[in-house]
Amino acid sequence: MSSTVRVALDAMGGDKAPGEIVAGAVQAAREFDMGVYLVGREDAIRAELAKHDVTGLDLPILHTDEVIEMGEHPANAVRRKKKASMNLALELVRDGQAIGAVSAGNSGAMLAASLFTLKRLPGVERPALGGVFPARTGPCLVIDMGANADCKPEYLLQFALMGSIYMDRIFHVASPRVGLLANGEEEGKGNQLVIDTYQLIKADAEILGLNFIGNVEGRDIPTGSADVVVCDGFVGNVVLKLSEGLAEALIGMLREQMSSTLINKLAAAVLAPGLRKMFKRLDYAEYGGVPLLGVNGAAIVSHGRSNARAIKNALQVARQTAETGVATAIAEGLARLKTNSGKQQAEV
Amino acid sequence: MSSTVRVALDAMGGDKAPGEIVAGAVQAAREFDMGVYLVGREDAIRAELAKHDVTGLDLPILHTDEVIEMGEHPANAVRRKKKASMNLALELVRDGQAIGAVSAGNSGAMLAASLFTLKRLPGVERPALGGVFPARTGPCLVIDMGANADCKPEYLLQFALMGSIYMDRIFHVASPRVGLLANGEEEGKGNQLVIDTYQLIKADAEILGLNFIGNVEGRDIPTGSADVVVCDGFVGNVVLKLSEGLAEALIGMLREQMSSTLINKLAAAVLAPGLRKMFKRLDYAEYGGVPLLGVNGAAIVSHGRSNARAIKNALQVARQTAETGVATAIAEGLARLKTNSGKQQAEV
């Protein structure tokens, strides 16, 4: 055991659990020199571990029989199944035994369990999911990706801060460009929520250290004209699902074309390495998972279809989120905002 | 002159006006046996017409010097420039001299001018833009595409009716599947607007003859799981811009890959015909333009970048919208709804 840093992993969560999940933990432990708590059914986890060389790796098991299934009602399941693998993984974070938690299980439940166990950071009104999109020029964080369907301007202001800190700490983007998703670039465009949020972010950008570039449009997400795109969770979810669907449809059409005749297949074989590289840029597994920002700890919600590589990357993202102090920076920013608005009120 | 049916065309509207616009009119007149009123600067239009063989075609010119430019404030420009080509084209519809109008100019202005000149149909609360998306299985109409950023459930119910009638009449989809765009498929998912709209559509679907399939997600637009997708204009605009941006980004990456080396170029040449066919499916020009539904007349808002083919198709769509009685069917549906809710109230 060369490492004392551990991330807690819900070994039972995800379509490919526990096989790919445990495999991801083994890869992360080896590649990133980290410890991974494997939370779930001990016999199933042991059977998977037996398939790998785990010599010298820090992979302790925390046994539990309870698992939250994909179809269950998130909040109910979290409350009823106190010993669910997801809950226990988060408790390891709460109790300081792990620095972060990852689950590819029921994402609504992971959201609810993180809120319930880790609690909101001081000053945070609504934690939000920050989804990383592969833009042409680099990653673009869309926040909120689906945690809050109905929002107020104050929530979106906080999302802007949380997203900016995350892109700075995790992706090393200096002074991330923060855009507000709207139906036009000009100030004054938007629905009422966006119009009000624009003024709020504009007013508080300096005190929060935000590089606010104003409104952006849907096209700015894939082109990478902003590093952080702020929207409510309803719109963010539509953006996520539409992007996934459109990329799949296009890639599907492309595959159809390329395998339609023998000569097409040969031509496709020539192009294959380059195309594979291109598809990799579009592969959500690259970014491992979606952080829930605004809770007191690092919680990563991974895609249900996560494979070993996605889990490996998610574990590393959880660790970096903790080690770079994302949560502390969020709390500090909000405290500064509060002090400032107190001062402004005193001045009036 | 073999035809008496005429569509009015804003010959000065669009990035490629008047060249591509007039060329589109010539093509439509020839191919679809229709007349096209060319509204705009007579000398410029005549110069373009001289480049084509227009023997036997019905292409009268209505001269005006005023044009609404792309950067102008829509409502202000429409009010100030009474003789703008766009305004005059719509007046031809209002006065019964044309059965529909098309413009690829300032789309906000075309929206405002259509509302101002054609007026709302009886019973319509908010006219809406119905954008046609090329889904895998056929066209999918997203309504509203951007006319109304803030909506009420009653508006969305009307969008559902308008979209359903349009897909039935113009694309011959029998009993179009109408989905409500949400952040999850289950009833009860959505923001407050969507949750309330769901109940309203469910209650009125039968009287309106709607095939309501419940909530759909962003991915259902490209996959074609619904024929009509209902959302507010803010979300619709994000969907439109994101789709355009994502398709462009993917195609750009593909082109880059395919021209990176000589052998890649050769392989790409083999695949080119098939890929061209694929891109055609994704080409918005195929569908010509976006109808503004709910006004008393056929008004088509074409893309600013429209080429001759897009204009040709838009002119045909305008004609079909008028000839198949889309507006009348919308007014009838809403009258039925009103009578029914009157009855229900009387019964209470």
Q: Does some domain include residue A330?
A: no
Query: Sign of torsion, CA B104 B107 B113 B114?
Result: positive
Over residues B221-246, the mean pLDDT reads: 93
Instruction: Examine residue A223 and state whether it is found in any structural domain, yes or no.
Output: yes
Residues A147-175, mean pLDDT to the nearest whole number = 97
Distance CA A203, CA A230 (A): 16
Q: Specify if A189 maps to a domain.
A: yes
Q: What is the pLDDT of residues B100-118, one digit of tens each?
A: 999 999 999 999 999 999 9
pLDDT at B115: 96
- Identify the closest residue of chain B to A108 by CA–CA distance: B184
Quick one: DSSP state of residue B15? T
Residues A205 and A70 in one domain: no
Interface confidence: ipTM more than 0.95:
no
Last-in-domain residue among B259, B283, B307: B283
Q: In what order do the strands lie in the sheet with A61-63?
A: A61-63, A35-40, A6-10, A100-103, A298-301, A290-293, A128-135, A138-143, A228-230, A177-181, A211-216
Q: What 3-state class would DSSP assign to A144?
A: coil
The two structure tokens encoding residue A272: 């294959």
Same-domain check for residues A166 and A21: no
Of B182, B218, B247, the CB nearest to A239: B218
- Best of B73, B191, B260, B266 to disrupt the A interface (most A CBs within 10 Å) is B191
Both A274 and A301 in a single domain?
Answer: no
B298-301 vs B100-103, strand pairing mode: parallel
The DSSP secondary-structure symbol of A131 reads E
My answer on whether B241 and B158 are in the same domain is yes
Does B342 score more than 80 pLDDT? no
Instruction: Give how far A74 is from chain B: nearest CA, Å.
Output: 13
Average pLDDT over residues A322-334: 96
Q: Is A337 within a domain?
A: no
CA distance B183 to chain A (A): 6
DSSP for B132-176, written as a single string: EEEETTEEEEEE-SSS-SS--HHHHHHHHHHHHHHHHHHH--SSP
Average pLDDT over residues A324-341: 93
* A244·B219 Cβ contact <8 A: yes
Contacts of B64 (CB under 8 A, 6+ apart): B39, B40, B41, B83, B84, B85, B88
Among B283, B310, B326, give the residue marking a domain's end: B283
- Cα-trace Rg, chain A: 21
B151 and B252 share a domain?
Answer: yes
Q: Is position A13 within any domain?
A: yes
Nearest CA in chain B to A234: B183
Query: Last residue of some domain: A254, A285, A316?
Result: A285
Enumerate residues 6+ apart whose C-beta is below 8 A from B152: B125, B193
Distances (CA, A) of A71 to A76, A119, A162, A304, B198: 12, 24, 30, 12, 22
Query: Using the beta-carbon criterion (under 8 Å), do A243 and B248 form an inter-chain contact?
Result: no
What the block records as the tokens of A317 is 């993202």
d(C-alpha A32, C-alpha A316), whole Å: 7
Query: B264–A270: do the CB atoms touch at under 8 Å?
Result: yes
Query: What is the spatial distance between Cα B235 and Cα B226, in angstroms, rounded to a whole number?
Result: 17
Residue B19 CB: number of other CB atoms within 10 A? 16
Share of chain B above pLDDT 70, in %: 94
**What pLDDT digit, counting tens, does each position of B258-283 carry?**
777 787 777 777 777 776 666 666 56
Cβ of B139 under 8 Å from any chain A Cβ? no
Taking a C-beta distance cutoff of 8 angstroms, is the pair B85, B13 a contact? Answer: yes
Q: Are A181 and A212 in contact (CB under 8 A)?
A: no
Q: Which domain holds residue A168?
A: 129-285
What's the whole-number mean pLDDT along residues B137-150?
Answer: 93
pLDDT at B263: 78
Asked, for residue B59, whether it belongs to a domain, the answer is: yes
Chain A environment of B258 (Cβ under 8 Å): 271, 274
The distance of A7 to chain B (nearest Cα, Å) reads 30
Going by pLDDT thresholds of 50, 70 and 90, the confidence category of residue B255 is confident
- Main-chain dihedrals φ then ψ at residue B206, nearest 5 degrees: -65, -50
Dihedral sign, CA of B121, B123, B127, B129? negative
Q: Say which residue the tokens 């269950």 belong to.
A: A72
Structure tokens at A77: 């399941």
How many C-alpha atoms does B309 have within 13 Å on its Cβ side? Answer: 6
Q: Are residues A194 and A98 in the same domain?
A: no
Residue B289 falls inside a structural domain = no
Establish if A331 belongs to a structural domain. Answer: no
| Higher pLDDT pick, B283 / B90 | B90
CA angle (B8 as vertex; B2, B13 as ends), nearest 5 = 135
B-facing residues of A in 24-83 (CB < 8 A) are none
- What per-residue string of b and e applies to A144-172 under the rule 16 or more CB within 10 Å gives b? bbbbbbbbbbebbbbbbbbbbbbbbbbbe
Question: Distance (Å, rounded) from C-alpha A203 to C-alpha A17?
Answer: 47
The answer to whether B346 faces chain A, any CB pair under 8 Å, is no
Number of domains in chain A: 2
A153 in contact with chain B, both atoms CB, cutoff 8 A = no
Q: What CATH code is carried by the domain that includes residue A214?
A: 3.40.718.10
Cα separation, A7 vs A298, whole angstroms: 9
CA–CA separation, A50 and B57 (whole Å): 80
Rg, C-alpha atoms of chain B: 21
Of the listed ranges A43-57, A116-130, A185-199, B260-274, the least confidently predicted one is: B260-274
Chain B environment of A219 (Cβ under 8 Å):
241-242, 244-245, 248
Q: Are B93 and B116 in contact (CB under 8 A)?
A: no
Distance from CA of B331 to the nearest CA of A (A): 28
What order do you get walking across the sheet with B298-301 strand by strand? B61-63, B35-40, B6-10, B100-103, B298-301, B290-293, B128-135, B138-143, B228-230, B177-181, B211-216
- CA A205 to mean position of chain CA atoms: 24
For residues B247 and B307, state if they share a domain: no
For position B283, what pLDDT does the model report?
61
Of A182, A242, A277, the CB nearest to B219: A242
Model confidence at A1, in pLDDT bands (50, 70, 90)?
A: very low
One domain for residues A162 and A189: yes
Q: What is the distance, to the nearest Å, from the Cα of residue B184 to the centroid of all Cα atoms in its chain? A: 27
Instruction: Note whether B142 and B102 are same-domain residues.
Output: no
| Average pLDDT along chain B | 91
In angstroms, the CA A249 to CA A234 distance is 22
Do B24 and B310 touch, CB atoms closer than 8 A?
yes
Q: How far, in Å, CA of B203 to CA of A131, rounded?
A: 36
Cross-chain CB nearest to B242 (options A146, A150, A243): A243
Residue identified by tokens 């994502």 is B246
Residues of A in contact with B282 (CB under 8 A): 250
Please tell me which residue, B295 or B343, carries the higher pLDDT value: B295
Residue B111 shares a structural domain with residue B165: no
The verdict on A263 touching B (C-beta cutoff 8 Å) is yes
Whether chain B has a CB inside 8 Å of the CB on A265: the answer is: no
Distance to chain A for B274, nearest Cα, Å: 6
Tokens 């962003």, residue? Answer: B218
Q: What is the pLDDT of residue A269?
A: 77
Q: How confident is the model at residue B134 (pLDDT cuts 50, 70, 90)?
A: confident
Cβ contact A86:A13 at 8 Å: yes
Distance, CA of B177 to chain centre = 19
B120, B136: one domain: no
Residue B153 structure tokens: 């459930």
Yes or no: say if B234 and A183 are a contact pair by the CB < 8 Å rule.
yes
A61 in Cβ contact with A280 (< 8 Å): no
Q: What is the mean pLDDT of chain A?
A: 91
Whether residue B2 is predicted with pLDDT greater than 50 in this model: the reply is no
Say yes or no: B208 and B72 in one domain. Answer: no
